[in-house]
Amino acid sequence: MDAQPARTDDEAAFLATYDPRAFPAIALTVDVVVLTMREGRLNVLLVERAAPPFQGRWALPGGFVKAGEEGLDEAAARELAEETGLSAGALRRVHLEQLGSYGAPERDPRMHVVSVAYLAFAPDLPDPRAGGDAARAVWTPVAGPHGGGTGDRRLTGRELAFDHAAILADALDRARAKLEYTPLATAFLAPEFTIPELRTVYEEIWGEKLHPGNFHRKVLSVPGFVESTGETAERGGSRGGPRARVYRAGDARLLHPALLRPDREEGVR
């Protein structure tokens, strides 16, 4: 960590008399959109609020940042661990990135609360456990080849508190875009996977069916996207035929050429 510059006498005198109460109070929270694949479906983690405001409503896991004790990334990782029960070691396999900030004055009825939202990808996370002010926590399907839309419309009977429906929609848009240009789809899978399993991730997040042969060809044409393990799956496909080959994530950080969504692919032809 870089050394902090020494304070001048004038600065020290200013800080000694500085009163933060002279300014309107504002709070800082983190909210985490946790996405995982469970039994071939894309799911988001939701918690039922046990206390006001929005008692009994569903929300994204999150909470207040511990002022003076933790940074934003630390707070997001803590909330993720509390709601999923993941150990520190297991958390290392979770891709966690900052999504955006949400600060409309009316988004929280208690006071002006600014939330920094995070997006987390991980393969087959365990059953959640409710922590903090949550009554229970559940995995809820959010997209799929027969759904699409912004994702929040798939949460039948689970109206979200605060502005969390908008945050979820933004998170799904981010995930859809990242799957076009980065290999992050592999973050939803076990270290070794088949191309059909990879295709399921794309179908669930993009919300539409993909042609198996075309998808297989495109994936293998992207340098560094996947690499063969030399093994095959233990079983053949649901319709019989040869067993699928097994792959692992390659060393690519960006996909070139990109795997564009079918509707966007039509637009660039």
Instruction: Encode pLDDT of 105-121 as tens digits.
Output: 999 999 999 999 999 98
DSSP annotation string for 115-177: EEEEEEEEES-------TTEEEEEEEE---TTT-TTSGGG-TT-PBSTTHHHHHHHHHHHHHH
Q: Are 63 and 30 in contact (CB under 8 A)?
A: yes
For 153, phi then psi, to 5°, come to -70, -15
**Tokens for 183?**
């290999």
Round to whole Å and give the CA distance between 201 and 249.
14
Model confidence pLDDT, tens digit, residues 17-37: 888 788 888 999 999 999 999
Position 44 pLDDT exceeds 60: yes
pTM of the full structure = 0.85
With a cut of 50, say whether residue 153 has pLDDT above it.
no
State the sign of the Cα–Cα–Cα–Cα dihedral 161, 166, 170, 175.
Answer: positive
Q: What is the mean pLDDT of the chain?
A: 86
Q: Residues 146-151: what's their mean pLDDT?
A: 44
CA–CA separation, 161 vs 31, rounded Å? 12
Instruction: Name beta bridge partners: 142.
Output: none
